[in-house]
Amino acid sequence: MDSKFITQIANELGIREFQVLNTINLLKDGATVPFIARYRKEMTGSLDEVVIASIRDRYEQILELEKRREAILNSIKEQEKLTPELEKQILEAGTMSELEDIYLPYRPKRRTRATIAREKGLEPLANIIYAQSNFDIETKAASFLDPEKDVKTVDEALSGARDIIAEWVNEDKGSRERVRNLFARKASISSRAVRGKELEGIKYESYFDWNESLLKAPSHRLLAMFRGENEGFLKVSIEPDEIEAVELLNRKFVRAKNAAAAQVEMAVKDSYKRLLQPSMETEFRQAAKEKADQEAIRVFAENLRQLLLAPPLGQKNVLAIDPGFRTGCKVVVIDRQGRLLHNETIYPHPPQSDTKQASAKIQTLVKAYKIEAIAIGNGTAGRETENFIKRIPFETNILALMVNESGASVYSASAVAREEFPEYDVTVRGAVSIGRRLMDPLSELVKIDPKSIGVGQYQHDVNQPLLQKGLEDVVISCVNKVGVELNTASKHLLSYVSGIGPALASKIVEHRDKKGVFHTRTDLMSVPRFGDKAFEQAAGFLRIRESANPLDRSAVHPESYRIVDSMAEKLGCSLTDLMSSEELRKKINLREFVTESVGLPTLTDIMQELAKPGRDPREKFDFFEFDKNVNSIEDVNPGMVLPGIVTNITNFGAFVDIGVHQDGLIHVSQIASKFVKDPNELLKLNQKVMVKVLQVDKDRKRIQLSMKDVEQ
């Protein structure tokens, strides 16, 4: 890669050139972002995943720019119009818009008004007018009349000449830069209702007469306006003041005060309105959409990260319930490994209201399967089911917990669920998913398309490939951050491990089913098509709790085992002793183990891992209960202070589940007494909060909440 691009990326990200170069080389060699961040710190100067991903994305953008640059050079060469000066301009262009501006005069065109005027022989007249000298313009224009070429009047001749001048203005690199700068500084975005669609599009009423600076418009507002336009209810436009834009161009192109200059002035105005303004509006609309998409994807990705890293209850015998009224509550029992042991349906709610029999069944199941926790879906009949369960007198203390079931129905109808439970219907699969989410949210949620989990902002309006890439990055990051137990992980979870992917994950599970459990990490090499490269990328993120080698239970990479062996040998102790004794570890001088390829960052990571091998980085599980007296929106009144759980975070605020099947909104202005720019600064997904009810619209099912002056 050209060294100037290495320098460019380094300057943009505020890092050193060797960090960029080494990261790109590692990526080109097939290394994943989590692997580079965790196990190649010496090469990258300890860059984190965010910066590594930024290098990757910027590198891909530059490759696209270079690809386009090459195509443009080839196109102009084929036209035999490539001069040394033009080639230099193209090679030095730093952005796609600059490159396209240079190429515009040489781009193959469909027939334009200027093309037609040239065919009529009017380009010489355009040149004479553009020079803006003093002459009798009507006499000169009359000399270009040609009935055979459909130039019958002086006005037609002048009009054709202006069309040619207008195209010159539009294709002038300097004029495009001036107008682009004006758009960047002063463009407004405005929206108005499409006539006759006011009632149908009433949800966009706020944008029926809207105008604000494009520079200051927040992403959620931009996406709302663009959605309203796509649905046919709004007309959106982006432009600066037209008079200022035309005057800006006049200062460049109008160089006299005579009849010819007046014609140029007319051509400039036409060029702006007909060519430049629409072109720039398209460019800035696209740029605004891309920026809004990036922000929406960032918000979604951060929410997803928090959801995936939610505290797990851990391996417990769980009874899970997918609540319902008319169709009953589907009950399943799953063991500590998440395997389905039993399922049936109870009917504790109207219309059947068979509370006594339902209670007896639950008591029997809890006792028979030594149940340690009960997971209850938070959808329809969720609070009613929670209240029913909490009235049952169990012999032992049983945790009964509400579980966010967003996306469970998507999972239950998916190919993944059909493959796991081919003999069971969607209700059983959904209940199993609810139970497993309580035990280990990450392992279960990776089976669901992130867009279906319900923590996004305008996720259906943003660039879908970019969204998919952004969310996949988050899933991969979370899975590898936590680590995966090789002998129990599903192929869906394994597929997100660095260097594995769906095909190898299937091979690992097939091998495990046929040959039995893996005893060491090196056993992976016996899996068909699992080569050295895959082992290098994946091994450190896989755990084998029952391995004879205690390092297989940790995040220490097998390539570093010899270092740990050397440490133990130097101290005259076993690996187990070294890992269990802080006193022994304190005796190690890390500098003695530094080599050309292994430095202090890796050695420090190794020591931290030896202290807490395979530690789960997720927070400890925290028990939570909703207000027992509030079960539906009918129970909610202004002034109440209630416990809740943050379910979604957007740029304009956060949504909180207070246990009434309808999340309430804390507007960003109600999160704290001080100014809050980004709700993520103070809130995170699944956070337990106390909120005050401000307003309740029971007809529209809207609840306005506040955290101001509420003790947390």
Q: Provide the total of helices (H) and of strands (E) in the chain, helices listed first.
A: 30, 15
Q: How many CB atoms lie within 10 A of CB 528?
A: 9
Instruction: Give CA–CA dist 291/373, Å, rounded.
Output: 44
Q: Indicate the pTM of the whole model.
A: 0.85
For the domain covering 633-706, report its CATH number: 2.40.50.140
CATH superfamily of 3-106: RuvA domain 2-like (1.10.10.650)
φ/ψ bin of 15: left (φ > 0), alpha (ψ from -120 to 50), beta (otherwise)? beta
To which H or E segment does residue 193 belong? strand 188-193
Pairing of strands 399-403, 373-377: parallel
DSSP-derived 3-state class of residue 483: coil
Q: What is the DSSP letter of 272?
A: I
The domain over range 113-300 is classified in CATH as 2.40.37.10: no
Query: What DSSP line would sit under 532-544, residue for residue?
Result: HHHHHHHGGGEE-
- pLDDT for 121 equals 96
Structural tokens at position 488: 């129990």
- The residues facing 657 across adjacent strands are 645
The domain over range 501-611 is classified in CATH as 1.10.10.10: no
Phi, psi of 667 (to 5 degrees): -65, 150
- pLDDT for 615 equals 87
DSSP-derived 3-state class of residue 146: strand
Number of residues written out for the chain: 712
Ranges in the chain, pLDDT < 50: none
Helix locations, 123-192, DSSP H: 123-131, 137-142, 154-171, 173-186
CATH superfamily of 318-439: YqgF/RNase H-like domain (3.30.420.140)
Based on its alpha-carbon atoms, the radius of gyration of the chain, rounded to whole angstroms, reads 33
- pLDDT for 251 equals 96
Q: Tell me the torsion sign for CA atoms 644, 647, 649, 654.
A: negative
- pLDDT for 1 equals 59
> Please, what's the largest Cα pairwise distance for the chain?
108
**What are the sequence ranges of the domains in the chain?**
3-106, 113-300, 318-439, 501-611, 633-706
Pairing of strands 234-239, 188-193: antiparallel
Structural tokens at position 491: 């192929």
Contact 120, 136 (CB under 8 A): no
Whether 113-300 shares its CATH topology with 318-439 is answered no
Helix locations, 312-454, DSSP H: 355-368, 382-390, 408-412, 415-420, 426-439, 441-445
Residue with tokens 């818009």: 97
